[in-house]
Amino acid sequence: MFLGSNVFLWCGWTVWPAVAVVGIIIRAKFFLGITLVGCVQVGDNFFRLCTNFLVLVHSLSTHFLLKHCSRTIFV
């Protein structure tokens, strides 16, 4: 129980704020990408590709962290 509590606190104080900050950055970049549509086509396509990649990485990392933290806490 003590180990589970420590892991829960670690996930709560280090992982989730980091995930939240990354999510905010990704949303800001996505919004800027929509705002800048059509200004420079090559740059816009590259920006969208990077944004999609960041969204994918964020989704996978969130899924992994949820799975890992919940398994560590509840098992």
Q: Is 50 exceeded by the pLDDT of residue 75?
A: no
Q: What is the pLDDT of residues 3-34, one digit of tens each?
A: 445 555 555 566 666 777 777 777 776 666 65
With a CB cutoff of 8 Å and minimum separation 6, the contacts of 72 are 4, 7
pLDDT of residue 72: 56
**Mutual angle of helices 2-10 and 41-74, in 10-degree steps:** 170
pTM over 0.85: no
Q: Which domain holds residue 66?
A: 2-74
Cα radius of gyration rounded to whole Å, the chain: 17
Smallest Cα–Cα separation from 32: which of 15, 18, 16, 51?
51
For residues 49 and 61, what is the distance between their CA atoms, to the nearest angstrom? 18
Q: What is the pLDDT of residues 31-57, one digit of tens each?
A: 666 555 555 555 666 777 777 777 777
pLDDT of residue 14: 61
Number of domains making up the chain: 1
pLDDT of residue 2: 46
